[in-house]
Structure 1
Amino acid sequence: MSASEALPHDAGYEYESLPPNFSWGANMLAGAFAGILEHTAMYPVDLLKTRMQIMSPSPSGIYNGLSDAVVTITRREGLLTLWRGISSVAIGAGPAHAVHFTAYEKIKDVMGGGGNEHHPVASFSAGVAAAIGGEAIMNPFDVIKQRMQLQGSEHRSIVNCAQSLWRTEGLRSFYISYPTSISIMIPFNGFQILAYDSISKYWNPSGKYDPVTHCGAGALAGGLAAAATTPLDVIKTTLQTRGSAMDPELRNVSGIRDAAAVILRREGMSGFFRGLKPRVLAAMPSTAICWSGYEVLKAAFLAEAKRQNPE
């Protein structure tokens, strides 16, 4: 039986409202499941985005577009290179998204955003809370991931990479980009969740579980949010990969303003949109997968809650 069949609209709980016995553990499990799906499914595109955002790649790492990047990397480094560093996000995405979705549901509920009515302020606020909590856990894993994604990276495991970062750059290296990450994730997640909830309410006013709505709304919301925050993502990549840069100026960038000034001076405004296509191409399906995975598990848990409490 599918989740949509197991959870009719009049099942006793509104789909958008969590029942009293819907535990934090179940909510976190659904979030972890969604996060791992999201980050692993589109990982090769994320690696391409990182490679295209690097300011001072080696001559063999200068790409003329997305298709050229794919051909160059697979021909010179092998097909499996596209998955280098995936273990870092696979490990980090579970706990990070568990916190992310738990914060989303709880803050949205506290602010009156449960039920089938649309509450834009509650949706945006829940997105902000989810971003702050989830990114605090995910940021170190994201740093490790991007160091492993670089061309010629000597790191072949997350343990080796983490030890090297700790030894050569210290604890600060794991959170050097956290202010930028939060600067990205607050507008990205706030806008993405606001857009997701708004599109979902418009397409599916009844509020019942609908996988087509969850997938489509997730894709649109993710693509719009990714495009809008690409400039900040370029800054974040510059900060997270500074320790591997051969260029002394890039190696010594010390924060958001410093990185932004270097990018602007060297490449102009166009430099802030490096990697736009792979970022959007990764965000649309990955966000669709994330929301679909979260909603289907949420629907299954709610169906089980109805089965145990039929009245």
Structure 2
Amino acid sequence: MAEEAPPSPPITPLQQMVASGTGAVLTSLFVTPLDVVKIRLQAQRTPFSKGKCFLYCNGLMDHLYVCQNGNGCTAWYRAPTRFSGTLDAFVKITRHEGIRSLWSGLPPTLVMAVPATAIYFTAYDQLRDYLQARAGSRGHHIPLVAGALARMGAVTVISPLELIRTKMQSRPLSYRELRVCIRSAVAQDGWLSLWRGWGPTVLRDVPFSALYWFNYELVRAWLCRQARLDEATFAISFVSGAVSGTVAAVLTLPFDVVKTRRQIELGDGDALRAPANKSSSTWLLMQRIRAESGTRGLFAGFLPRVIKVAPACAIMISTYEFGKTFFQKLNQERQRSSL
């Protein structure tokens, strides 16, 4: 009787972190130029003045910038000539300022986005496998629950670093000044002040994550059935990520609008010591936006968000799945060589 092949060894959490970290780097490299061009196009219509805030997002996380003086933001919007459109902006920025200008703001993103993404994706896989083992099945609710819990954990871990980063970007600070500022904030409001803004971030990111993983697993399984495949290919993962990311982005857009409004309010003052009444509850802020701009105001930025989120999700998840497959094959080879 022929011997059964040994079961495929699972990949380790460290290998999962490497795969997700690689995906985060590639996502940043591909998506950052899109947002740099968007900011430059916006800036030529309404130049940034002193104290002007604007948000920059490269598909992994948001960045808040505040112009402190006339030259504070020139790296983002100085234009040798007018841009007539997106393609024209790509060409002229590359020609006059060098191709590196398309990746402005990338280093601070990688410092935080890579570890945050590694924590999030690794936590999701571990939680999903744990819940499936406990339930003894692959219920459709498991990706939803695992995605929500993983995102909540990642947001909680990264939230103080996000607040500190926002503080450093809002105005020039030395590390000594930053340390004094943090100590002062903690002494005045307690350690929980370092998690200010956690609520609206969770309200936006946790539903997005739950919807994303729920739809991703469904779409991927359906595409595998249509192609009569046992495992998803790179193309199937890419399409599944784009579709699920688009659906989640649309459904959670009102929470993204609220988070953006809160970030701008933080940029207008002290990011670590914003008054408690400056930003009311999320529900009240949504009502205020609706009263000011109507229901459409809650879905402001619909097209840019979808255009940005869909490729970012597609690149991230397909790279992550490819990385996991690579490590699974590597572990199989090591297992065979050790027999």
The TM-score with structure 1 as length reference comes to 0.72
Q: Relative contact order, CA 8 A, sep 6+: which one is greater?
A: 1
Among 238, 248, 268, the residue aligned to 1:215:
238
Structure 1's 33 and 137: CA in aligned 2 closer, same or farther, altered over 3 A? farther
Deviations 1:166-201 (A, max 9, x none): 489777675332111111122111111111111111
- Listed as ranges, the gaps of 5+ residues in structure 1 are 1-9, 63-71
Once the two structures are superposed, the pairs formed by residues 101-180 of structure 1 within 5 Å of their partners are 101-112=121-132, 119-140=139-160, 142=162, 154-155=171-172, 166=182, 175-180=195-200
CA contact (8 A) 2:147 2:210 kept: yes
- The offset of 1:126, in angstroms, is 1.5
Q: Provide the C-alpha distance between the structure 2 equivalents of 1:85 and 1:301, rounded to a whole number of angstroms.
A: 31
- The offset of 1:232, in angstroms, is 0.2
Q: Provide the C-alpha distance between the structure 1 equivalents of 2:108 and 2:317, rounded to a whole number of angstroms.
A: 21
- Listed as ranges, the gaps of 5+ residues in structure 2 are 53-75, 82-88, 94-99
Deviates more, 1:278-287 or 1:119-128: 119-128
Deviations 1:5-59 (A, max 9, x none): xxxxx98657xxxx34x22211222222223333443134456889999xxxx95
> Where does residue 324 of structure 2 map in the other structure?
298
Once the two structures are superposed, the pairs formed by residues 35-50 of structure 1 within 5 Å of their partners are 35-46=24-35
Q: Secondary structure at the match of 1:75?
A: coil
Q: Secondary structure at the match of 2:21?
A: helix
Among 65, 73, 79, the residue aligned to 1:75:
79
Structure 1's 73 and 26: CA in aligned 2 closer, same or farther, altered over 3 A? same
Q: Provide the C-alpha distance between the structure 2 equivalents of 1:222 and 1:123, rounded to a whole number of angstroms.
A: 14
Q: Provide the C-alpha distance between the structure 2 equivalents of 1:154 and 1:180, rounded to a whole number of angstroms.
A: 23
Q: Secondary structure at the match of 1:309?
A: helix
Q: Provide the C-alpha distance between the structure 2 equivalents of 1:37 and 1:232, rounded to a whole number of angstroms.
A: 26
Deviations 1:87-110 (A, max 9, x none): 332111122122111211111111
- The offset of 1:159, in angstroms, is 6.3
> Where does residue 55 of structure 2 map in the other structure?
none
> Where does residue 264 of structure 1 map in the other structure?
290
Q: Provide the C-alpha distance between the structure 2 equivalents of 1:97 and 1:175, rounded to a whole number of angstroms.
A: 19
- The offset of 1:262, in angstroms, is 3.1
Q: Provide the C-alpha distance between the structure 2 equivalents of 1:86 and 1:159, rounded to a whole number of angstroms.
A: 21
Once the two structures are superposed, the pairs formed by residues 89-100 of structure 1 within 5 Å of their partners are 89-100=109-120
CA contact (8 A) 2:289 2:298 kept: yes
Once the two structures are superposed, the pairs formed by residues 232-311 of structure 1 within 5 Å of their partners are 232-245=255-268, 252-310=278-336
Q: Provide the C-alpha distance between the structure 2 equivalents of 1:82 and 1:301, rounded to a whole number of angstroms.
A: 32
> Where does residue 225 of structure 1 map in the other structure?
248
CA contact (8 A) 1:215 1:292 kept: yes
Q: Percent identity?
A: 24
CA contact (8 A) 1:127 1:189 kept: yes
CA contact (8 A) 1:166 1:173 kept: no
Structure 1's 75 and 281: CA in aligned 2 closer, same or farther, altered over 3 A? same
Q: Provide the C-alpha distance between the structure 2 equivalents of 1:242 and 1:12, rounded to a whole number of angstroms.
A: 58
Q: Provide the C-alpha distance between the structure 2 equivalents of 1:172 and 1:51, rounded to a whole number of angstroms.
A: 37
Deviations 1:227-261 (A, max 9, x none): 11111001111112212238x99992244234323
- CA RMSD of superposed structures (Å): 4.2
Deviations 1:127-148 (A, max 9, x none): 1122112222344555566678
Q: Provide the C-alpha distance between the structure 1 equivalents of 2:196 and 2:80, rounded to a whole number of angstroms.
A: 31
CA contact (8 A) 2:132 2:138 kept: no
CA contact (8 A) 1:234 1:272 kept: yes
Q: Provide the C-alpha distance between the structure 2 equivalents of 1:169 and 1:81, rounded to a whole number of angstroms.
A: 36
Structure 1's 134 and 305: CA in aligned 2 closer, same or farther, altered over 3 A? same
Structure 1's 140 and 148: CA in aligned 2 closer, same or farther, altered over 3 A? same
Which structure has the bigger radius of gyration? 2
> Where does residue 47 of structure 2 map in the other structure?
60
> Where does residue 188 of structure 1 map in the other structure?
208
Q: Provide the C-alpha distance between the structure 1 equivalents of 2:235 and 2:177, rounded to a whole number of angstroms.
A: 40
Q: Provide the C-alpha distance between the structure 2 equivalents of 1:158 and 1:44, rounded to a whole number of angstroms.
A: 29
Structure 1's 283 and 270: CA in aligned 2 closer, same or farther, altered over 3 A? same
Once the two structures are superposed, the pairs formed by residues 9-28 of structure 1 within 5 Å of their partners are 19-20=9-10, 22-28=11-17
Paired residues, number = 277
Among 15, 19, 22, the residue aligned to 1:30:
19
